[in-house]
Amino acid sequence: MIDTHAHLNFSQFDKNREEIISKCLNNNISIINIGTNYKSSCDVIEIAKKYNLYASIGLHPLDIDEDFDNKKYKELFCEKVIAIGETGLDYWYKPKGKEKRATYKEKQKQVFIKHIDLASQLRLPLIIHCRVAFDDLYEILKQREVKGVIHSFTGNIDELKKFLSLGYYIGINGIIFKIDLKEVIKAIPIDRILLETDCPFLSPPGFEEINNPMSLEIIVKEVSKIKKCSVSDLVKNTDENALKLFNRIDI
Ligand SMILES: [Zn+2]
């Protein structure tokens, strides 16, 4: 299995990062760690090189107080970098005041478009974070030819259909234990699902408090129940999907 969205670079793993990574690798779980700002983008590359994992580089929409310098990020590119993100739009934490809100949204859109440009330049897929901003996200993506995944998808069926029609993959994680996404999951074709944990966040019930990629086993069981397919079929398909999107044969 491939955890297509992890943050093992975060400080929650400072004490046991190596232990968790070797446990995952021993259980045939490969990992893509996701950068959320410049420093963490450097960190995920370092971890990828050290442990033979993979990395995605970008500036999270809630971190845009920091500048996104396309050139600086481009210079980070190496064979371990297989995607751009996480990037996207997050209107959940809106600043108070109409004007401030409008500026905030505008800035997120501009930074997101810069990520799309970088992804096109490097011919890499996007790892997209989107919270209560699906309309704006769709407007931006439909005008551009770039592929990617909408990670931790929380939209409704209509929103799902729009992104599927653009060719996007849909990332499913432990959030399915917190909000009811059953109908959405049923509607995602098996060749468009990616599995992820978003660890250290979104730990499934009964798993360790600080989530890690080993919880993929719980997520895959739940999704296979909802989709009424076997765990092995789901694993096979989602693995193939990840390899296809990230264009790798060696994950
Ligand atoms: Zn994330």
What residue spans define the domains of the chain? 2-246
- The chain-wide mean pLDDT, for the chain, equals 96
If you search the block for the tokens 């098996």, which residue do you land on?
190
**What is the Å distance from ligand 1's center to 41 Cα?**
12
**What is the Å distance from ligand 1's center to 35 Cα?**
8
**What is the Å distance from ligand 1's center to 244 Cα?**
21
**What is the Å distance from ligand 1's center to 85 Cα?**
9
Closest CA to 133 of 169, 98, 166, 109: 109
**What is the Å distance from ligand 1's center to 155 Cα?**
16
Alpha-helical regions (H) of 29-142: 38-51, 70-76, 98-122, 134-142
Q: Is the pLDDT of residue 201 over 90?
A: yes
Question: In Å, what is the CA distance from 46 to each residue of 42, 53, 107?
Answer: 6, 10, 29
**What is the Å distance from ligand 1's center to 198 Cα?**
5
CATH class of 2-246: alpha beta
User: CA–CA separation, 38 vs 21, rounded Å?
Assistant: 23
Q: Is the pLDDT of residue 249 over 80?
A: no
pTM, full prediction: 0.96
Q: Is the pLDDT of residue 95 over 90?
A: no
Model pLDDT, residue 35: 98
Model pLDDT, residue 248: 82
